[in-house]
Chains A and B, each alone.
Chain A
Amino acid sequence: GAGVSQSPRYKVAKRGQDVALRCDPISGHVSLFWYQQALGQGPEFLTYFQNEAQLDKSGLPSDRFFAERPEGSVSTLKIQRTQQEDSAVYLCASSGTGGNGYTFGSGTRLTVV
């Protein structure tokens, strides 16, 4: 597609529920990133994929967070047993080879109640 597409746009989850957030990067983009933006903060790095390989997951806040990109295109960020502190906007970005540019999606706003 022309841009990075994320779904759903909004998600309300009850505490303890599992959620899955989807990211469709720009076709052909090798690199894919997930960021988390809590209220009043800047986006913070969660994880990075190069094709299907997850090269860095150092930003994932706990083992309840899991990301995958099995075929090197679409990625899913899964959060198990959601907690209130997981409430945030989750941004996905993709980037092609050889450039500095990162294209972001419009994010998924997760609210845990």
Chain B
Amino acid sequence: ILNVEQSPQSLHVQEGDSTNFTCSFPSSNFYALHWYRWETAKSPEALFVMTLNGDEKKKGRISATLNTKEGYSYLYIKGSQPEDSATYLCASRGAGSYQLTFGKGTKLSVIP
């Protein structure tokens, strides 16, 4: 994988459902994986920065896992709420670099 790829592009879930999405990134020369939550007309909000293989992080109902050997990360949302509606971006940072390479994002809509 040369680029950062996210799937699905968009999804609609019912309030209360749990959901997850995927971020694939280049596994060679890996340094860090960032997850952001971006609501329309607001700033992208940092959710997690993950660096270690097998890392799991949690923030309220949102959690993320990281597999640096195979180059993927999952973001999980438990019991989705309407306020979780946003675009979720992941970005990879390579060793020795300060640039973030972003995926196109997953747009989540939670239906009340």
Interface residues of A (CB under 8 A from B): 3-4, 31, 33, 35, 40-45, 48, 56, 59, 91, 100-107
Determine, out of B54-62, B74-82, B102-110, the stretch whose residues face the partner at the interface.
B102-110
Check B51–A42 contact: CB distance below 8 A: no
Count of B interface residues, CB-CB < 8 Å: 22
Contact partners of A4 in chain B: CB under 8 A: 43
Chain A min CB distance to B4 (Å): 7
Interface on chain B toward A: helix, strand, loop, or mixed SS?
Answer: loop
- Closest chain B residue to A5, Cβ basis: B43
| Given known contacts A4-B43, A91-B44, A103-B46, A45 and B51 CB-to-CB distance under 8 angstroms | no
Check A45–B101 contact: CB distance below 8 A: yes
CA distance A48 to B102 in the complex (A): 16
CA distance A31 to B89 in the complex (A): 21
8 tightest Cβ-Cβ pairs between the two chains A and B:
A42-B102, A100-B49, A106-B43, A104-B44, A45-B99, A42-B104, A43-B102, A104-B43
Interface residues of B (CB under 8 A from A): 4, 32, 34, 36, 41-44, 46, 49, 51, 89, 91, 93, 98-105
Contact partners of A43 in chain B: CB under 8 A: 89, 91, 100, 102
Q: Can you identify 14 A-B contacts, CB atoms within 8 angstroms? A: A31-B98, A35-B102, A40-B104, A42-B4, A43-B89, A43-B91, A43-B102, A45-B101, A100-B32, A100-B49, A100-B51, A103-B43, A104-B36, A106-B43
- Closest chain A residue to B105, Cβ basis: A42
Chain A min CB distance to B7 (Å): 13
CA distance A23 to B55 in the complex (A): 33
Contact partners of A107 in chain B: CB under 8 A: 43
Chain A min CB distance to B12 (Å): 18
| Given known contacts A40-B104, A45-B99, A48-B98, A106 and B89 CB-to-CB distance under 8 angstroms | no
Chain B min CB distance to A25 (Å): 12
